[in-house]
Structure 1
C-alpha cells in the first residue's frame, strides 16, 4: 500500500471512530507502528487529525463520541484482558452496578458465572449478556433509551438509582486523565454515570491505554473518587501513557494492569493473591506505583457501614514504574 493510500485509510478510520490507537491503525493498514506514527505525524501537520497518547483523534482537542459498531471493533484484545481482570474482583453474592460501554459488556459476559450476584445497570448490552445467567439477578434502571450506546439515560434512570447502595461500581468512559478523572462526550450519559457512582462504596474504572490522557467534554468521576483503574499494558514506546498512569497513582488510584495475553495459565489464584475470577483465567498483578497514598476513604456518600461495602484496597506495596514494562 502506498503512503497516500495508507494515510487516506487512517484518516477515514479516525473520522469514523473519533479516536483510534496506533496499534489498531497498524493492524488495519498492515504495517508497523513506526510507519503509522510517521503517517499520523504527517496528517497532523496538515491539520487533518491530532496525535494523542498512543493514537490519533479528530482535530479540535475534544474527541466526539463514536457509535457502538465502531467502539466494538476498537482495542478488542485489550478490552478482553481488562474484562478478565475486572471479573476477578467480583465475589459470590455481591451487589454491584455496571455502567454502559463495550468494555463493561465484556465484563458482564464473564460475570454470568458468578453465583448469587446482583447487577444493577442502565445498559441493555450488559443486561443482554446476563439475561440467561440463572444465578445472577439483573436490575435495570428506568429512563430513556439512547440508541448510540444502548443505554437508559435521563431523569428516570437517575431517580431509579436514588437510595441504592452496592459494593462496587464498574464504569468506562471516553477518556481518563489524572487532572479531571473519567469523562465522556455525552451530557446525559455523564449524569447517569455520576448517579451510579453515588450508589457505590468503591469505584472501579475500566479503560484501555488509548483512553489515558484523553479528555472529553463531561466529567463523570473525579480522580479522587476513583478507587481502582483496570487497564492494559501500554506499548513500550508510549511514555505518555505511562506518565499518566504514574500521575493517577500519585493521586491514590490503585492501578491494575492486564496484558492482551492475560488469559494464559491456570489455577485458582494468581501470583499476587488475586482470585482468578469466574473465567478461570489468571489476572495480571495489581500494581501500586511509587508515590501512592495509603488507603483512601471515599468522601461523602461513598462511605457506609453497609455489609455490601468492600474492604479498602491495600495501597502500601511499592512498585517501580519499570515493573509495568516487565509485565
Structure 2
C-alpha cells in the first residue's frame, strides 16, 4: 500500500471517529503498529491529527461531524434562520432598502475558490511557455492540478488537435471552449483546496490510460525524494498520473527546488524533465542532474505575451 493511500485511510478513520488508538488504526488499515506510529508522527507534525495518550484525535481545525454538533451550528439550521430573516425583511422593507440589501452579499455565501496569485505569475508564464513546446499536435497528455499546469493549459489553445486528461477543475474550465482539444475529465471526490478531484475513483479512472507526457507540479523537488506535496489526497492522484505518462515533466518555480514535504509523488529517477526558473539552488539542481533528471532553467518572461 502506498504511503499516501495509507495515510489517507488513517485520516478518514480518525475524522469519522474523533479518536483512534494505535491498535485500532493498525487493524482498520491492515498495517503494523510500528508503521502506524511512524505515519502518525508525520501526520501530527503536518497538523492533520492531534496526538493524545494512546493514539490520536481529530485536529482542532477539523469540524466535528454534523451529527455531533449543536443544532445551531449545522448548515440546515443556518439555512432555516436565513430564510426566516429574509422573510421578515421582505414584509417591512421599503423599495429603497430593498435595493440597498440586494447590493450586499448574501449571508453565509463566500466567493468562488480561486488559485490565488503568489507573486510568481511571471515565473509560471516562462515555465508554461517552454513546456508548451514539448507538446506535439495529435498527442495525448495528462495535466495534474496546480498554478503552473493551469498556465500551461492556457497555452495549449495554440496547439493543434490534442487530447488532454486532467482532474483539475480550472484546467477543464480553460479548455472547455476549445473544440480542437479532446478533454477527458477524471472524476472523484472534489478537494476544494486544490480545486481537483482526488480519491479512489480518480485513481481508478487513470488506470489503463497512457499519455505521451504527464505534467505535474508540487511543493518541493529534491534529488533524494523527487517531487513531493503536503496533501495526502493529492499525492495518491499524482502518483496515478505519473504512472500513466510515458514522459514525466515537473513544472516548479525556483522556490520549490531543494524543498521537500510529507508525501512523495514522483521519485527523482522517474522524473524525465524538470522545468524551473533562475534563482533555484544550484547545488540542488546539480544533484537532480546527477540523478538523471534533464534540468531546464528557462529565462523569465512577462506574464502576459505581447
The normalised TM-score by structure 2 is 0.61
SS of the equivalent of 1:72 reads coil
Matches within 5 A, 1:183-198: 183-198=228-243
Q: Distance in 2 between matches of 1:202 and 1:82?
A: 17
Unaligned runs of 5+ in 2: 1-43, 49-112
2:223 is the counterpart of 1:178: yes
CA offsets, 1:46-99, max 9 Å, x none?
Answer: xxxxxxxxxxxxxx99799xxx75753331110111010110110100100000
Give 1:135's aligned residue: 180
Divergent runs of 4+, >2 A = 60-64, 68-74, 261-264
- 2:161 pairs, out of 106, 111, 116, with 116
Give 1:6's aligned residue: none
TM-superposed deviation, 1:104:
0.4
Give 1:252's aligned residue: 292
- 1:147 pairs, out of 181, 189, 192, with 192
Q: Distance in 1 between matches of 2:252 and 2:246?
A: 20
Give 1:213's aligned residue: 258
**Over the residues paired in the alignment, what is the CA RMSD in angstroms?**
2.3
Q: Larger % of helix: which?
A: 2
SS of the equivalent of 2:242 reads helix
Q: Distance in 1 between matches of 2:159 and 2:133?
A: 10
SS of the equivalent of 2:177 reads coil
Unaligned runs of 5+ in 1: 1-59, 265-278, 282-327
SS of the equivalent of 1:100 reads coil
Give 2:127's aligned residue: 82
Say whether the 8 Å CA contact 1:143–1:157 is kept in structure 2: yes
- The structure-2 alpha-carbon separation of the partners of 1:63 and 1:175, relative to structure 1 and needing over 3 Å to count, comes to farther
Q: Distance in 2 between matches of 1:203 and 1:95?
A: 13
Q: How many residue pairs were aligned?
A: 199
Q: Distance in 2 between matches of 1:71 and 1:253?
A: 30
